[in-house]
Amino acid sequence: MDQSLLALLLFAFVSTFTPGPNNMMLMASGANVGFRRTIPHMLGVIFGFGLMIFLVGLGLAEVFKTFPKIHDALRVICGVFLVYIALKIARSRPQVESASYQPMTFSAAVLFQWINPKGWTMALSAVSLYNPTASLFGLTLVTLAFIFVNMPSASIWAYAGKKISRVLKQELHMRLFNWSMALILVGSTLPMLV
């Protein structure tokens, strides 16, 4: 295997498997509604992030350099929306596979990628580091690498949530879990917003 491809796959692995807004929401969803009901959310993350990388590689990053106010506005919108999502997670009824917890839909997860600060950091880094010549082939390779690696990552986080729900049979435990996920979601976002 080519060393640059191996480096790309390792970067994709580390950046998609480490905690961040997507993974915290997938885990919370898995714990609250189970793995199957989280599948549309997982697919939205996988394909939405792939689309984001591709469009960033086609030149969206240049728009932000030219118009930094757009980037600043995106950061504010992102922060507000993530706090809103965190509050929804924290306030969801603390019952395993609860009907009150609504998992993110495919389209909502695709759209969420555009306000996910970790996603922006990952996409900009991946495109600039692993496609320095800005070739369409290189961009396609970077995009496919992230889609490929994100499949097991999203699945593992949602499955971990489902498994952890077995421990969270008591209402208090599920409430503490939901609040913990909400706080970690906000906490994982703060360094990227400052």
pLDDT in tens, 165-184: 888 777 787 788 778 878 87
Q: Is the pLDDT of residue 29 over 80?
A: yes
What pLDDT sits at residue 182?
80
- Inside any domain, residue 6: no
- Inside any domain, residue 16: no
Lowest-confidence pick of 72-76, 91-95, 132-136: 91-95
Residue whose C-alpha is closest to residue 128's, from 185, 39, 62: 62
- Inside any domain, residue 110: yes
Domain hosting residue 62, numbered range: 31-92+101-193
Q: Is the pLDDT of residue 96 over 50?
A: no
Rounded alpha-carbon distances, angstroms, from residue 133 to 117, 123, 127, 166, 172: 25, 16, 10, 49, 53
pTM over 0.85: no
Residue 167 main-chain phi, psi, to 5 deg: -80, -25
Q: Is the pLDDT of residue 44 over 90?
A: yes
What pLDDT sits at residue 25?
92
- Inside any domain, residue 124: yes
Q: Is the pLDDT of residue 34 over 50?
A: yes
Q: Is the pLDDT of residue 124 over 80?
A: yes
Q: Is the pLDDT of residue 1 over 70?
A: no
DSSP 3-state of 125: helix
What pLDDT sits at residue 54?
96
CA distance 56 to 50: 10
Q: Is the pLDDT of residue 81 over 60?
A: yes
- Inside any domain, residue 25: no
What pLDDT sits at residue 188?
65
Q: What is the domain count for the chain?
A: 1
- Inside any domain, residue 129: yes
Residue type, 70: I
Mean pLDDT value across the chain: 84
